[in-house]
Amino acid sequence: MMSRPQLSPARLLLLAALLLFALFFLTPLYVMLSASLKSMDEIRNSSLLALPASPSLQAWATAWSASCTGTDCGGLKPFFLNSLLMVLPAVGISTALGALNGYVLSKWRFRGSELLFALMLFGVFMPMQVVLLPMSQVLGWLGLASSVWGLILVHVAAGIPSTTLFFRNYYAGLPDELIKAATLDGASFWQIFRRIVLPLSTPILVVTLIWQFTNIWNDFLYGVVFSGADSKPITVGLNNLANTSSSVKEYNVDMAAAMIAGLPTLLVYALAGKYFVRGLTAGAVKG
């Protein structure tokens, strides 16, 4: 172990700078949370940074079940449920396919597999605007327009390149000898996957699940383009709520709604941030 540096003036300055930055990043979250616990009277008459005098969950209750998005005043609850119905299958399917693809692309390469993978990889970066118009027509033909199933299909198709990338890079680190020895023992493609590869996959499985969950929960573009009246995800609900112009703007309800929409991914980040960061950096730089 190295000894810790002394608390010199330079070091105090460094710590002060780090804490100031921490405040810069935390303040919007604090403002959001404290406003969501205030009444509108208090928001008008107190400072932005003041703690709520008598914290109340009234604004949260309103945001959840009685706030207005456009002309409909049923709160965010139906949007939240749509998001759950969309996220769970989309994350599960895209992760499972990514694991299988990664297994093939690292341990069962065939002629042309690298080229196909490179072509697929462009999907991680391309601007999704180019698929919006044709995809809405495809969804119409498939009878999936404006449905949660249509959104699931889009999220799976859009997610496969990154899930495949994650698993491929991770499996490339597993020794090939492991696979060779197992094939010599007569183990099949599926047996090797189930008994050898899958049990070693926990870390990358967690990274991918968290990555896909965060991305799909937070998606707005597909949600706003492909959803119908009954399938809008939470981000679209929140945006409609915050942009509904009524005579009296209820900022406490807006902030509570933003907290509700952000809470699931924030919780996942708080519990497993390490894995989220790993996904974030794995998507940018090869593993």
Partner 1 sequence: MPSSARTLWLPKLVIAPSFALSLLFIYGLMAWNGVLSLSASRMLPNYEFVGLAQYEALFESERWWVALRNLGIFGGLFVGGGMALGLLLAILLDQKIRLEGLLRTIYLYPMALSFIVTGTAWKWILNPGQGLEHLVQEWGFTDFSFGWLVDPDMAIYCVVIAGIWQSAGFVMALFLAGLRGIDDSIIKAAQVDGASLPRIYWRIIIPSLRPVFFSTLMVVSHLAIKSFDLVMALTAGGPGYATDLPATFMYTMAFSRGQIGLGAASATVMLATVAAIVVPYLYSELRGARR
Among positions 55-94, residues that touch partner 1 (CB under 8 A) are none
Which residue, 61 or 172, has its beta carbon nearer to partner 1?
Answer: 172
Of the listed pieces 42-50, 73-81, 143-151, 197-205, which binds partner 1 according to CB under 8 A? 42-50
Total residues contacting partner 1 (rule CB under 8 A)? 94
Q: Is 284 in the site for partner 1 (CB under 8 A)?
A: yes
Query: Positive or negative CA dihedral for 48, 52, 55, 58?
Result: negative
Q: Is 101 in the site for partner 1 (CB under 8 A)?
A: yes
Q: Which of 76, 204, 238, 253 binds partner 1 (CB under 8 A)?
A: 238
- How far is the CA of 110 from the CAs of 104, 107, 174, 229, in angstroms? 9, 9, 18, 45
Q: Which residues, 6+ apart, have CB-to-CB distance to 30 below 8 Å?
A: 49
Q: Is 147 in the site for partner 1 (CB under 8 A)?
A: no
DSSP type of residue 193: I
The 10 Å Cβ neighbour count of residue 98 is: 25
Instruction: Identify any residues that bridge with 227 across adjacent strands, giving them in sequence order.
Output: 146
Shortest distance, position 53 Cβ to partner 1, whole Å: 16
Shortest distance, position 202 Cβ to partner 1, whole Å: 21
For residue 11 the two structure tokens come to 């070091």
Alpha helices in 108-250 (DSSP H): 113-125, 129-141, 148-171, 176-184, 189-192, 202-218, 221-226, 234-243
Shortest distance, position 118 Cβ to partner 1, whole Å: 6
**What length does the chain have?**
287
Between residue 158 and residue 187, which ones bind partner 1 under the rule CB under 8 A?
158, 160-161, 164, 180, 183
Which residue, 65 or 281, has its beta carbon nearer to partner 1?
Answer: 281
Helix axes 58-65, 77-107, angle to 10 degrees: 70
The pattern of x and - marking residues 198 through 217 that bind partner 1 according to CB under 8 A reads: ----------------x--x
Where in the chain does DSSP place strands (E)? none
Q: Which of 25, 71, 202, 246 binds partner 1 (CB under 8 A)?
A: 25
8 A C-beta contact, residue 102 and residue 164: yes
Which amino acid is present at 156?
A: V
CA distance 152 to 86: 6
Of the listed pieces 55-63, 66-74, 195-203, 255-263, which binds partner 1 according to CB under 8 A? 255-263
Which residue, 76 or 205, has its beta carbon nearer to partner 1?
Answer: 76
Q: Which of 34, 69, 76, 254 binds partner 1 (CB under 8 A)?
A: 254
Q: Is 9 in the site for partner 1 (CB under 8 A)?
A: no
Between residue 106 and residue 135, which ones bind partner 1 under the rule CB under 8 A?
108, 110, 113-114, 116, 118-123, 125-135
CA distance 162 to 123: 8
